[in-house]
Amino acid sequence: MDVVPLTRNQDVSEILHILRKEGDGKLPGFFGGNFKLSPEQQPLDTFLDPTGWGKGVAYVNGINLGRYWPMVGPQIRLYLPAPFLRRHPEENRIMLFEVDQVPGDRTVKLVDQPLLDSPANFSDS
């Protein structure tokens, strides 16, 4: 396996372009989706909730929000500052680099509250 550094936001976009053509849903892999704010909505600080996913790294509009591992914690939801979101009519892109498991519905939620103090679940196995 070759390691390829992602040094520019455009690198992530190029990977997505390739995956749209060749992606097979195998892990590890990139998973993405788009959404638009409604015309009357202003971007607000929010949190990305990856509950149901395994572990990986989340990006919004090419910006790395950080790692997630909801089964282990303690941080479950990732902070998404308002300036990272694009106003209507532009599209926003959520991308996850997932290494462990994918939920059947392949969705994440954007919520208005953090979830920071979940018990950390570690095992020695």
Mean pLDDT, contiguous 10-residue spans, the chain (125 residues): 54 58 69 94 96 96 95 92 97 94 93 82 59
Domain hosting 70: range is: 30-111
Within-domain flag for 12 = no
SS3 6: coil
Are residues 72 and 121 in contact, defined by beta-carbon separation less than 8 angstroms? yes
Phi and psi of 84, rounded to 5°? -80, -15
- The total of structural domains in the chain comes to 1
Q: What is the pTM of this model?
A: 0.78
Looking at residue 23, its pLDDT comes to 52
Q: Looking at residue 63, which CATH number applies to its domain?
A: 2.60.120.260
- Which positions ≥6 away from 57 have C-beta within 8 Å? 64, 65, 66, 67, 68, 96, 97
Within-domain flag for 98 = yes
Within-domain flag for 23 = no
